[in-house]
Amino acid sequence: MDNHHLSPYMTFNRKEWAALRNAVPMTLTQAELSSLQGINEDLSLEEVSEIYLPLSRLLNYYISNHFTRHMILSRFLGQDHKTPYVIGIAGSVAVGKSTTARVLQALLTRWPEHRKVALVTTDGFLYPNKILQERNMMDKKGFPQSYDVKKLLKFVSDIKSGIEKVNAPVYSHSVYDIVENESIEVEQPDILILEGLNVLQNQANGAAKSNRVFVSDYVDFSIYVDAEIPLLHDWYINRFLKFRAGAFSDPSSYFHHYSQIPESEALARAEQVWKTINELNLIENILPTKERASLILTKGADHRVASIQLRK
């Protein structure tokens, strides 16, 4: 472990981190490991046990401590005081935030406390295409101004207040828009995993100047998933091609059009979108939030986590 005195982080390499899962062993059966792979067929099981399992153990300690504190507060107030633990997951488009979130959801549910873990992505709080078009912002999707931040803040604040049922809107990558008349209902979870490009943004990087409260104010533990730009570029293009391949026979998919033109043309468009939208957004609005994360996961080729930085 590198504990450089000027850095706010302790840095672990892969081997050092993997060793940390052993102190309180939690073993996963082969069947459980296989069911985790249903989350993402490219996810390696070695990755789950060496990286995500120790991470879920650490989180489980923090979460237990959170609930102990709230029990004390309940005693002090003489009334029930329970608020969910919020884990934020930030990082570039295509870095693997949603995969990370789903693996952590599965692992945290599995700890003996059997906590109820809800998962929400901030994509659902993007303005619908109709509004983005009216505001001439279709090439700004994912930028701070493309989100209905008020709605997102109300959502997180309602969850934190312990409101019984809170609804979140849904975004579809395949339709490339908010899905009308669809929502996910969040019912008093113990843990909320909130995943999205913007969960760590504050006034200094992107959020509207008039805002005084930020999503990050409601986040108890934040994870920034990081990788070098050339890797992110490749992951974005690969996922684009996967969507394109899946959209040949589905005319309702946004990607259908790309399946009807030559691959080289579709690729040129994907390259342009990456460069002018997602890479730009990463540099301007997402990367600057990295230094505020509680934990940074740095990935190398094949999504393999190479190092972990944990705030001291």
Ligand X SMILES: CC(C)(CO)[C@@H](O)C(=O)NCCC(=O)O
Ligand Y SMILES: Nc1ncnc2c1ncn2[C@@H]1O[C@H](COP(=O)(O)OP(=O)(O)OP(=O)(O)O)[C@@H](O)[C@H]1O
Residues at the binding site for ATP are 91-98
Among ligand Y, ligand X, none, the one that 118 touches (CB under a kind-dependent 5 to 8 A) is none
Which 3 state secondary structure label does DSSP give 308?
strand
Q: Which does 239 bind (CB under 5 to 8 A by kind): ligand Y, ligand X, none?
A: ligand Y
Of 155-163, 203-211, 213-221, 270-278: span binding ligand X (CB under 6 A):
270-278
Residues pairing with 185 in the sheet: 167
Looking at residue 51, the DSSP 8-state letter turns out to be: I
Residue by residue, DSSP assigns 66-130 as HHHHHHHHHHHHTS-----EEEEEEE-TTSSHHHHHHHHHHHHHHSTT---EEEEEGGGGBPPHH
The 189-228 contact track toward ligand Y, x by CB under 6 A, reads --------x-------------------------------
Rounded to a whole number of angstroms, the minimum distance from the CB of residue 68 to ligand Y is: 32
- By CB under 6 A, tell whether 96 contacts ligand Y: yes
Task: Say whether residue 169 binds ligand X (CB under 6 A).
Answer: no
Q: Does 303 bind ligand Y (CB under 6 A)?
A: yes
Indicate the annotated binding residues. Answer: 91-98
Q: Which is nearer to ligand Y, 93 or 200 (CB)?
A: 93
CA distance 293 to 116: 24
Contact between 277 and ligand X per CB under 6 A: yes
Options 84, 91, 124, 142; binder of ligand X; rule CB under 6 A: 142
The partner in contact with residue 303, picked from ligand X, ligand Y, none with C-beta cut-offs of 5 to 8 angstroms by kind, is ligand Y
Residues 229-258 that bind ligand Y (CB under 6 A): 235, 238-239
Q: Which is nearer to ligand Y, 83 or 293 (CB)?
A: 293
Q: In the bound complex, what is the minimum distance in angstroms from residue 138's beta carbon to ligand X?
A: 9
Confirm or reject binding of residue 118 to ligand X (CB under 6 A). Answer: no
Instruction: List 80's β-bridge partners, or say none.
Output: none
Residue 147 per-residue DSSP state:
B
**How would you classify the pairing of strands 9-13 and 166-172?**
unpaired
Q: Based on the shown chain and the rule CB under 6 A, indicate whether residue 197 belongs to the binding site for ligand X.
A: yes
C-alpha–C-alpha distance, residues 18 and 23, integer Å:
11
Evaluate whether 291 touches 90 at the Cβ level (below 8 Å).
no
The interface region with ligand Y, picked from 20-28, 36-44, 149-157, 269-277 by CB under 6 A, is: 36-44
Number of residues that bind ligand Y (CB under 6 A): 16
Q: Enumerate binding residues for ligand Y (CB under 6 A).
A: 40, 42-43, 47, 93-99, 197, 235, 238-239, 303
Q: Enumerate binding residues for ligand X (CB under 6 A).
A: 93, 123, 141-142, 197, 273, 277-278
